[in-house]
Amino acid sequence: MYLIGNGRLVTRDAANPYLDNGCVAIEGNLIAAVGATEAMKARYPDAAFIDAKGGVIMPGFINAHNHIYSAFARGLTIKGNNPTNFLEVLDQQWWTIDRHLLLADTRASADATYLDCILNGVTTVFDHHASYGEITGSLFAIADSARAFGVRTNLCYEISDRDGEEKMKAAVKENVDFIKYANADTTDMVKGMMGMHAPFTLSNETLEYCAAENPGAGYHIHVAEGIDDLYDSLAKYNKRLIFRLHDMGILGEKTICGHCIYINEAEMDLMKHTNTMAVHNPESNMGNAVGCPPVLKMMEKGILLGLGTDGYTNDMTESYKVANILHKHNACKPNVAWGEIPAMLFENNRAMAARFFDKPIGILQPGAYADVIVLDYDPLTPMTADNINSHVLFGMTGRSVVTTVINGVVKMKDRELIGIDKAAVLAHCREQSADLWKRINAGR
């Protein structure tokens, strides 16, 4: 039992949203109680005390879509690479990297990512992995890393026809093996899904094969990330993307569709009808110049739409900040997206996690998992239950996080990592990534 108190407590619990001087009591891996600091100290006089020093105590962030495999792209120059559209970005950049990823690269990429998550207060990560250089064992390597760093995670491998049938089948098997492993795991720290690249690299035969092999998990797939995905579906199947996926049995309450930039209202209605989830990645969409997804309309339709980073960053406040301005800019209306974006980040990501994990996360209330962060933040204007999100949006970044607790375990306290040798992890990553870069550029 220990307490984290003496901070501005943001619970994300509608019944008790904010306390000026609040405290969380943690017993094992769960939150035991939430209340005023002095009252909690009196109630648990023998408990150890982590002092938030007047900062903000809140639930750890959840990233609903990430790509560990992209970690070593930072600073990489691929000779001859100059993509002029999204398909060229995939082919010249991401598929080139993932075809060279061996298990050691995947493991080090995961170490780098989970370390950065702890530093940014991200306590749960939904990852979408591709390493066509070495498929088998890749999700297990990532899970080993997640356990070593103590980060809660949901993993899948990106099935695709792009490297031929043998590799497609190996990718399906990696998902199936991992889902079975995760289903048997009782820690509730690791979950598995069936990962899929995108409809335009998946034939109907492959989708049928995936469905036949799937041990009952949901799918995590990119949909309409570029307009070519839609053109491909119309040309080959005479159907829009969401309708094709529905006909192939891919939609449902455990399925996550990433991006959804070129979907129409009928497709949104079908997503809502099937209770299918979606995830928005604003920085990635802007960086790839693929267009602005209709997320305000999707929110209006009541689709469970979360917020991710697509490997662009591990700082969820970046996604919040960029989504906030992207949708104002796109609509030419400065009064929109104030409510929708924080609802995606703080309510919908939590609701998405609840479809996979046994106990609540993303909320500070008794019985929820103790995934808690403390941020160094001293507001320059009054902070109340009604304006919390404005303080997060304009006042905080991932680097404001000073203390990260996941599943009751203190991973970082006052910016000091606990049980993690950051310098050694990063030195190994630099070595591994330099080796990867050499292999990628060999013969180019």
158 binding Zn ion? (CB under 5 A): no
Q: What secondary structure does DSSP assign to 373-411, as a single string?
A: EEE----SS---TTSHHHHHHHH--GGGEEEEEETTEEE
Strands 18-27 and 30-36: antiparallel
Question: Considering beta carbons, is residue 174 or 310 the nearer one to Zn ion?
Answer: 310
d(CA 126, CA 217): 14
Q: How far is CA 163 from CA 74, 106, 398, in A?
A: 24, 18, 37
Shortest Å distance, C-beta 83 to Zn ion: 16
SS3 163: coil
> How many residues sit close enough to Zn ion to count as binding (CB under 5 A)?
1
- Quote the least distance from Cβ 162 to Zn ion, whole Å: 15
CB of residue 62 vs Zn ion: minimum separation in angstroms?
16
CB 213 within 8 A of CB 159: no
CB of 158 to Zn ion, least distance (A): 9
Shortest reach from residue 41's CB to Zn ion, in Å: 45
CA distances to 95, 101, 174, 188 from 132, rounded to whole Å, are 8, 7, 12, 28
CB 376 within 8 A of CB 38: no
Query: 50 or 117, CB closer to Zn ion?
Result: 117
Pick the closer one to Zn ion by CB: 145 or 281: 281
Q: Does 229 bind Zn ion (CB under 5 A)?
A: no
CA distances to 101, 127, 253, 365, 431 from 359, in Å: 34, 20, 18, 11, 39
DSSP 369: B
Nearest CB to Zn ion, comparing residues 154 and 400: 154
- C-beta of 5 vs 311, nearer to Zn ion: 311
Q: Is 310 in the site for Zn ion (CB under 5 A)?
A: yes
The smaller minimum CB distance to Zn ion, of residues 37 and 154, is found at 154
The values of phi and psi at residue 130, to 5°, are -140, 130
Stretch of 56-64, 84-92, 182-190, 307-315 lying at the interface with Zn ion (CB under 5 A) = 307-315
**Binding piece for Zn ion, criterion CB under 5 A, among 99-107, 211-219, 304-312, 355-363:** 304-312
Distances (CA, A) of 42 to 14, 33, 34: 25, 13, 13
Name the segment binding Zn ion (CB under 5 A); options: 144-152, 167-175, 303-311, 400-408.
303-311
Query: For residues 310 and 371, which CB has a smaller minimum distance to Zn ion in the complex?
Result: 310
Taking CB under 5 A as the binding criterion, the range among 111-119, 310-318, 385-393, 421-429 that sits at the site for Zn ion is 310-318
Alpha-carbon distance of 301 to 375, in angstroms, equals 34
Site string for Zn ion, 259-298 (x = CB under 5 A): ----------------------------------------
Least distance from Zn ion to the Cβ atom of residue 312, Å: 9
Secondary structure (DSSP) of 188-234: SSEEE-EEE--GGG--HHHHHHHHHH--S--EEEEESSSHHHHHHHH
Q: How far is the CB of 142 from Zn ion (least distance, A)?
A: 15
We find the least distance from the C-beta atom of residue 135 to Zn ion, in angstroms, to be 18
Residues that bind Zn ion (CB under 5 A): 310
